[in-house]
Amino acid sequence: MIVFRYLSREVLLTLSAVSAVLLVFIMSGRFIKYLAQAASGALDPGVLFLIM
């Protein structure tokens, strides 16, 4: 039982860390696209501040 708890905790922590890193990568990619749209004039810069 102790080993199962230890392994489940380790798997959960690793999964959480990997998910957080992937979420940061995805959100930064989207934000870069929004910045490019705002720079080209296709997106209102005021909307960009609301997204942040």
The contacts of residue 43 (CB under 8 Å, 6+ apart) are 34, 37
Q: What is the separation, in whole angstroms, between the first and last Cα of the chain?
A: 45
* Structure confidence at residue 44 (pLDDT): 86
* Full pLDDT tens readout for the chain, 52 residues: 888 899 999 999 999 999 999 999 999 999 999 999 989 988 888 888 887 7
* Structure confidence at residue 8 (pLDDT): 95
Domain boundaries, the chain: 2-49
**Full-model pTM:** 0.71
Tokens of 49: 């501040």
